[in-house]
């Protein structure tokens, strides 16, 4: 008997992280390197990055809109622009962020979901 309740499948963080590795390799690795260490003096690291502890909406906007101006990561200032990656899908952005937030010494149990990206995009 159907009582009008909808079945909602939980978002799988492990699956998102797995997909995110491929997205990261395609769109992010050229600047932030395979090991997430970035390029000294040019592109900030994502490995053990204090910047990834910023509010989720800030991280989503960073990917969607890019970054111009100085940013401090792990106590080091960087001033290389990051181009917007708004051509990526909502799922790709969520997956790439989940991968970065759970790789190279970073750990986050809270998944970023595509609906959050969509909300920030609009």
Domain boundaries, the chain: 13-121
**In the predicted model, is pLDDT for residue 48 greater than 60?**
yes
Q: Which fold would CATH assign to domain 13-121?
A: Cytochrome Bc1 Complex; Chain D, domain 2 (1.10.760)
Task: Determine the pLDDT at residue 9.
Answer: 58
Average pLDDT for 17-26: 98
What are the φ/ψ torsions at residue 9 (nearest 5 degrees)? -85, 135
**In the predicted model, is pLDDT for residue 6 greater than 50?**
no
Contact call for residues 97 and 107 (beta carbons, < 8 A)? no
Mean pLDDT score of the chain: 93
Q: How far apart, in whole angstroms, are the C-alpha atoms of residue 97 and residue 111?
A: 9
Q: What share of the chain is helix, strand, coil (3-state, %, to 5)?
A: 45, 10, 50
Average pLDDT for 38-43: 96
> What is the H or E stretch that residue 26 is in?
helix 13-27
Contacts of 113 (CB under 8 A, 6+ apart): 11, 94
């Amino acid at each position: 008997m159907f009582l009008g309740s909808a079945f909602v499948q939980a978002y799988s963080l492990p699956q998102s992280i797995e997909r995110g590795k491929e997205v990261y390799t395609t769109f992010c690795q050229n600047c932030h390197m395979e090991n997430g260490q970035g390029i000294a003096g040019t592109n900030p690291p994502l490995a053990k990055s204090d910047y990834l502890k910023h509010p989720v909406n800030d991280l989503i906007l960073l990917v969607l809109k890019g970054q111009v101006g100085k940013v401090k990561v792990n106590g080091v200032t960087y001033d290389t622009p990051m181009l917007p990656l708004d051509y990526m899908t909502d799922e790709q952005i969520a997956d790439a962020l989940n991968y970065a937030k759970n790789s190279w010494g970073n750990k986050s149990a809270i998944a970023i979901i595509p609906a959050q990206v969509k909300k920030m995009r609009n």
